[in-house]
Structure 1
Amino acid sequence: MIEAGGRSLRVAHWRLGEKSNHPPILFFNGIGANIEAVAPLAEMLTERGFVMFDMPGTGESPDPVMPYNPFTMCWTASQVLDHLGVELCDVMGVSWGGAMAQHFALQHPKRTRRLVLAATTPGMLMVPGNPAALSKMADPRRYIDPEFMNEHFATLYGGVDRDGAAHQKDSHIGRLKPPSPRGYLYQLLAMLGWTSLPALPFLSKEVLIMMGDDDQIVPLINGRILASAIRNSQLKVLKGGGHLFLLTHADESVEALRDFLDAPDTSEELGRAA
């Protein structure tokens, strides 16, 4: 537990004390998701540090007392980095956390080297997903009821392989802890009316946009919108990937991450880091 920005947050970090040629990744999770949901990704990236925290009211972080917005939460995230002694990082976010990652890169450009956006949108100006998936996403049973997940996994997340992906469902639900009602509500409120679209043309970062072509929650078109707005971006489409492609297509996702993050720094990036 770390006190940051006037909040008590449960923070996880990997390999920060180990020598590495790469900056660590600051990761923003999807709405309602706890650290354990994405821990397998952190464990696969063995050559670099990784930092992630439970949003207020999710995982083991206490309920928020007051609502927050992207500005205050990104400032809080910068306080977490200060506490851990991290100056420069690569920033990554998935879904709801992808919006938060965009805001962090815009708010804290000197702390951000590169940006990875997975299964996400520019905020309220987005193309909505499958109504059947969105209605089931709001159902709290997706966190705690294996039978509900077994029945609706394909509709909810997409990207299910021919065997029904029982291993995907069992593995995913086993790592989930439901957020508190207040924590979930405040995450929804945080992004109400928010969009990054007017600011994205001014984002001077190298950006990787990762999307699944079978994502039922965030359709691929949203990734194309991001790519058209960010001048230094590249779009990676994972064939057959649903909303959870970082886990269901883990090897392919990690390969794409390494290809992007390990590419030589441009002179512009080196100048900003200095």
Structure 2
Amino acid sequence: MQLSANGISIEVEDEGSPAGEPLLLIMGLGMQLTSWPAEMVQALVSRGFRVIRFDNRDAGLSQGFDHLGVPSLPLATVQHMLHWPVRAPYQLADMARDALGVLDALGLRSAHVCGASLGGMVAQHLAAQHPQRVRSLNLMMTTSGSRKLPQATLAARRVMLLRPRSNDLQALLDHYANLFQVIGSPAYRPDPDAFRERMRHNVQRAWRPAGTLRQLVAVAADGDRSPMLGRIRVPTHVIHGEADPLIPADNGRDLARRIPGATSDYITGMGHDLPLPLVPRFVDGIASNAARAT
């Protein structure tokens, strides 16, 4: 369903009992609400959560920002490397206000929050700037943005910059297969046919590379969130793969050290994805963290 949130149109899926504990899931860079495994959503619902997913701005079926133009990634990269201000079409703080707008549109004063990758960066803004709206916080495979932390491997950087050879469906599926072969979990490789089917569904639902680029520049513009992390007082749980080549595991350890009282789960063989065999472990961690909030 389409909701008006923070003055823009946001696509939202709301599952589970209306009386359940609300849990807001925030997806990562360029990904859609359908990128959360259906098995994970249903497992959370079965644990009593009211699971709310949404497409971030510029992704999926939510409102796009093509009128703001396509930013120059090389320019943003140089500005970031030289510690110059990065001009972005919008900020991660704007995306956090979108998430708040979703809660407002659903009449929810607060919710548990789980963010993955870029979604975890947005979730940090939510918990630090709007603590009364966040019951508990779960940060999956994400980072504070500190420059002192290990950065993506060369292979991960290269594959993230690759573009599909065309906009043909098969070319897009090949692109995603190559991407997740590099950044995905080496110990939890998905069934190739099932993976391509999930990617086919996502690509046919929406394919918006310009929006992904605007989100990426927003990440660069956000910089180091370390100073805000000490202000997070809600129960926080950090989940990170030990084999993550895009956001190495020390980024997760840094988050857990900086956020008072945070718990953590570092998973051997997990990369930068959400493997189905790990869904029960993810759900257990989220549910245990939510229980700390009560």
Matched, 1:78 2:100: yes
**Mapping 1:168-183, distance limit 5 Å:** 169-170=195-196, 172-177=198-203, 179-183=207-211
Counterpart residue number, 1:269: none
**Mapping 1:192-203, distance limit 5 Å:** 192-194=220-222, 195-203=224-232
Separation of aligned partners in 1, 2:116 and 2:43: 17
Separation of aligned partners in 1, 2:266 and 2:194: 20
Consecutive unaligned residues of structure 1, counting only runs of 5 or more, are 266-274
Determine which of 251, 255, 267 is the counterpart of 2:280.
251
Q: Deviation string for 1:228-253 (max 9, x for gaps)?
A: 11121011012221111354521221
CA deviation after TM superposition for structure 1 residue 208, in Å: 0.2
Q: Does the 8 Å CA contact 2:37/2:274 hold for their aligned counterparts?
A: no
**Mapping 1:47-62, distance limit 5 Å:** 47-62=48-63
Separation of aligned partners in 1, 2:91 and 2:127: 15
Letter in structure 1 aligned against 2:140? A
CA deviation after TM superposition for structure 1 residue 108, in Å: 1.0
Q: Does the 8 Å CA contact 2:30/2:209 hold for their aligned counterparts?
A: no
Q: Does the 8 Å CA contact 2:120/2:143 hold for their aligned counterparts?
A: yes
Counterpart residue number, 1:270: none
Counterpart residue number, 2:42: 43
Aligned length, in residue pairs: 261
CA deviation after TM superposition for structure 1 residue 166, in Å: 2.6
Separation of aligned partners in 2, 1:74 and 1:152: 27
Separation of aligned partners in 1, 2:54 and 2:233: 26
Alignment CA distance shift 1:234-1:181 (3 Å): same
Alignment CA distance shift 1:124-1:145 (3 Å): same
CA deviation after TM superposition for structure 1 residue 31, in Å: 0.3
Separation of aligned partners in 1, 2:239 and 2:201: 23
Q: Deviation string for 1:194-216 (max 9, x for gaps)?
A: 22101112211211000011112
Matched, 1:159 2:186: yes
Superposition CA RMSD, Å: 2.4
Determine which of 22, 25, 42 is the counterpart of 1:24.
22
Q: Deviation string for 1:70-115 (max 9, x for gaps)?
A: 2222222212111101111111100011000000111111011110
Separation of aligned partners in 2, 1:247 and 1:107: 33
CA deviation after TM superposition for structure 1 residue 225, in Å: 0.9
Matched, 1:234 2:236: no
Q: Does the 8 Å CA contact 1:149/1:169 hold for their aligned counterparts?
A: no
Letter in structure 2 aligned against 1:174? R
Please state whether the residue corresponding to 2:270 is helix, strand or coil: coil
Separation of aligned partners in 2, 1:26 and 1:137: 27
Consecutive unaligned residues of structure 2, counting only runs of 5 or more, are 69-88
TM-score for both structures, normalised by structure 1: 0.85
